[in-house]
A and B are shown apart, each in its own frame.
Chain A
Amino acid sequence: MRFVLFVAALLFAIPAHAQGIQQTKGNYEDKFRQLDEVLPDANTYRNASGAPGHEYWQQKVDYTIKAELDESKRRITARATVRYTNNSPDSLPWLWMQLDQNIFRTDSMAELTDAFGGPGRRGPKVTLGSGAEPTKLSMDELRRQQAMADNQYGYDISAVTSLAGAKLPHTIVGTLMRIDLPAPLASGETTEFVIEWAFNIVEEDAVNARSGYEHFPDDPRKGGNDIFLLAQWFPRMVVYSDYEGWHNKEFLGRGEFTLEFGDYKVDLTVPSDHIVAATGTIQNPDAVLTAAQRQRLETAKNAKEPVFIVTPQEAAAAEAGNPKGTKTWQFAATNVRDFAWASSRKFMWDAQGVKQPGAENETVLAMSFWPKEGGDLWKKYSTAAVVHTLKVYSRFSFDYPYPTAQSVNGPVGGMEYPMITFNGPRTTLNKDGTRTYSLAEKMFLVGVVIHEIGHIYFPMTVNSDERQWTWMDEGLNSFLDSVAGYEWDPNMPWTRSLPRDMVSYMVSNNQQPIMTQSDSVTDLGANAYGKPSAAYHLLRDTVIGRERFDFALKEYARRWKFKRPTPADFFRTIEEASGTDLDWFWRGWFYTTDHVDISLDSIYRLKMDSKNPDIDLPRRREERAEEPEVVGIGLNRDQKLPIWVLENPGVTDFYDKNDEFTVTPKDRKGYTDFLEGLQPWERAAFDRAVKEDANYYVLNFSNKGGLVMPVILGLTFKDGSTEKLNIPAEIWRRNSREVAKLLVYPKGKELVQVVVDPDWETGDADLENNHYPRRIIPSRVEAFKDEASKSRVSRDLMGEAAGAEPDKKKK
């Protein structure tokens, strides 16, 4: 009996992948199936239209921090009072914190799971060929290995206590720490605790950490100088959300951060000659700035161009000098999800006010901090790019929500935090002491500033979960930075991330859907930056249209400003606000790895049959006459073979004077009977069609890439005129593999050529099958050979023109 049950269980077992709706006969694939079976159910926290629900809540965490930078030891020592407000309906027996610095411990999960041959591997490499290249370590790998071996990184947590000083039990789990509360924190209640910690600051160039110090050994000051960029520098509360509870996702390096909003008061004690840039605004300018600097800051608020707060001369003097003790810079920031800062005596500093009439922050200070290595490149373009970003992004979302927007140069290539960003591009030092830069470096600076400042909108304000979904902020931000880039200078070769730029990635068969957790994605740049950006360009310019797309994007930004959206909230909002069913689009672009390749396989031309034998039969005779002669008849003629009818001209009958197209009375009666058999409305339609004698074409398409797309047609007519026709993607709803479309044009308007996606809007992978009649499309290599590139935009023409020779040994 038990055996029978076992067999029955096997027979009736349903494979895990076969849950839900199935096509159990035939091969119909519903590319338009609604996403509601995939998206989480709407509830009172997040409603079905993608907006925050009427009971939406999020936690609030306020931090009061006192931190000291030990410049010589490159070490931070700090103490924080954390005030946690439980706005959830749940009672919380414990709190979780993120200890991101612990990723740099040699026993961290990130280090231990750094797979051999994986993207973070640090072992010796193996190369193809026997002896063509020696086995070798990259310098990048070696430097990192040595830094990790020579230094002890990660947090030293010295105390976790109540305000009264009672120790709170805490358990460290990798980059996370659980703090057990004396009593569960009830809904609506607040708790406060104290945490003390210290850590050694990593060398950013060696460890690649999104923050750290950079050393300048060649500075005039004995021992050189450092720039310190501090981020992920304090224990931060893990998010507790309505859809995931505690977000206990170990920091593995790729997935960035998911954080709660709150208010910050931060005192930063640094060497007295340092300039500090930080999230928020300075609370004690009298103590840390000179009278002249404070006056310049006031002037900057109404300036039309950046004003120096710390001049190049002041920075040069500081760079060569030594501190006289320490100074404490006090900052405050309201409603931010993080706090980052930068400190160095090398910084010069400029500022310019950006006016937002009617906004909460009517004057925003756009500011930049950079060392002499940034040179004129930073002086001319950093703050200008900040100002430009605020203008463009605010148009697409909301007024910039904070009082400052800052760009700081240091060892980080590009990274974002509330009100402050770290940006890497610099000038080149030449042997004659001058500093120049290529046009490409200028483009990189403007591009990275736009991108990182743009992140203050997404995700610093529209607070999506970066640890889980990189694409949510990076995709939107890559899309908007390209929009802002073209509004800066349309002639610069910005990284466009249009569908046409993503073809080689999208056809590759070893990739993940965009809806994949950040740490599991290969080629994160293409997956989470480029592909979603291409999707938004396509939605905006082709599928939805600019006006409705921009309206929907703005609505998403408005709904989720200072709140935490999920992918479902984004998909639902754009769909609802644009009034477009986009489930097919999200499904194809975000949930699958399909690509676009629509082939125009054939075109059939149809003529309207008038049924009138006196019209149709002569027309058929003409068509027959246009057909090529049977080859054998021609060969017979060439051979001068005798033809019986020609040799017997006297023998004739009816058929010698009439062919198969001769009209007979029976034909005419049949026509009359046909007309009399029609209903009046049928007769009217028929008569009109005969009179109009239109051209009918049936176009047969096949979908070779899998992704359903609008069928965009470029039509060329015999008279030389052209038209563009956009057939919505819904044409594929009943058959996503092949479809036919009837096009009708008036008499005389004959179609001679059709091209699918003539403007390369969709990222179609195979252009040859887009053309009818077919034409040869040159490969990239062939096209290149035809026209060699002549670009000069990135050459350091400035340096070349001056005859300067770069100094390769110094920064």
Chain B
Amino acid sequence: MIRRLLVLLALVLAPFGAGTADAHQQKFTISTVSFNGRTGMIEIAHQVPVHDAEHALVVQRTGNPNIHTPDIIGSEDSREAFARYVTRRFLLMVNGEIITPDYVGSEITGGSLWVYQETPAPEGEALIRLNSQILTDVWARQENRVNIGGGTAVTTFIFRAGDVPQAAPLPR
């Protein structure tokens, strides 16, 4: 009963039953939000340790009856489901307007799941307001780092469960 109640409360995520962080789960993500002058787009790249993503998927219960097993690396369906979950947990406003960036895709390199999004950048200055709550509803100790800007000079925010959004101008 309590399980059913919590499923309602937590909507998409159930408790993690296959083990805990300790020496292995890193429980952090890094997202980079940057402006691409060539394409005129705001690009978002989320980096999630594969190990965390896979184990989160075990408990994710996506609601998709076709997804049963934790197979974050190779299963298109699973990876895409998790990637879309990541995009839902990353909340973005540009110049005061809530934006749902387009989902570009996901891939795995160097032990990380990368999830890509993009959205057209506005003319002139862009004030980015965002909140990265990826996996904070799975693990209480999740920490999400967001770099605003590409290359060397970035502004960084760290988000944990329940944190409020932060804002910074997007460097061009």
Residues of A within 8 A of B (CB): 116-129, 132-134, 136-144, 204-205, 208-210, 411-416, 424-426, 428, 436, 438-441, 444, 447-448, 451-452, 455, 474, 493-498, 500-501, 504-505, 507-511, 522-526, 529-530, 595, 597, 704-705, 765-766, 768, 776, 779-782, 784-785, 788-789, 791-797, 799, 805-806, 808, 811
Known: A116-B162, A436-B69. 20 other contacts (CB 8 A): A126-B164, A128-B129, A134-B11, A138-B137, A138-B140, A444-B54, A451-B24, A493-B108, A495-B111, A504-B47, A523-B28, A595-B152, A597-B152, A779-B36, A782-B38, A784-B105, A789-B106, A794-B72, A797-B74, A799-B69
What is the CA–CA distance of A792 and B107 in the complex, to the nearest angstrom? Answer: 11
What is the CA–CA distance of A524 and B69 in the complex, to the nearest angstrom? Answer: 29
Residue interface bits B47-84, CB-to-A below 8 A is 1, else 0:
10111001100000100000011111111001000000
A137 touches B9 (CB 8 A): yes
Q: Chain B's nearest CB lies how many Å from the CB of A117? A: 5
B154 touches A779 (CB 8 A): no
A415 touches B22 (CB 8 A): yes
Q: Chain B's nearest CB lies how many Å from the CB of A292? A: 32
List the 5 closest pairs (A to B, CB-CB), nearest first: A424-B19, A794-B73, A525-B26, A495-B111, A413-B19
B94 within 8 A of partner (CB): no
Contacts of A452 in B (CB 8 A): 23
A428 touches B70 (CB 8 A): yes
Q: List 6 A-B contacts (CB under 8 A).
A: A126-B162, A128-B164, A136-B9, A140-B16, A505-B145, A795-B75
Number of interface residues of B (CB under 8 A): 90
What is the CA–CA distance of A209 and B141 in the complex, to the nearest angstrom? Answer: 13
B30 touches A505 (CB 8 A): yes
B23 touches A415 (CB 8 A): yes
B20 touches A411 (CB 8 A): yes
Contacts of B162 in A (CB 8 A): 116-117, 121, 123-126
Interface centre among A139, A766, A795 (most CB of B within 10 A): A139
A139 touches B14 (CB 8 A): yes
Residue interface bits B102-122, CB-to-A below 8 A is 1, else 0:
001111111110101010000
Given contacts A125-B137, A796-B71, whether A412 and B36 have CB atoms under 8 Å apart is: no
Contacts of B140 in A (CB 8 A): 119-122, 138, 140-141, 144
B165 within 8 A of partner (CB): yes
Given contacts A441-B54, A522-B143, whether A504 and B30 have CB atoms under 8 Å apart is: yes
What is the CA–CA distance of A781 and B22 in the complex, to the nearest angstrom? Answer: 32
B154 touches A508 (CB 8 A): yes
Given contacts A138-B13, A139-B6, A508-B147, whether A118 and B70 have CB atoms under 8 Å apart is: no
What is the CA–CA distance of A284 and B127 in the complex, to the nearest angstrom? Answer: 70
B45 within 8 A of partner (CB): yes
B125 within 8 A of partner (CB): no
Contacts of A413 in B (CB 8 A): 18-25, 55
Residue in A123, A142, A795 whose beta carbon sits within 8 Å of that of B74 in the complex: A795
Given contacts A119-B143, A781-B36, A784-B105, whether A127 and B131 have CB atoms under 8 Å apart is: yes
B85 within 8 A of partner (CB): no
Q: Chain B's nearest CB lies how many Å from the CB of A418? A: 15
Contacts of A428 in B (CB 8 A): 68-70
Q: Chain A's nearest CB lies how many Å from the CB of B139? A: 6
Q: Chain B's nearest CB lies how many Å from the CB of A209? A: 8
A526 touches B26 (CB 8 A): yes
Q: Chain A's nearest CB lies how many Å from the CB of B151? A: 4
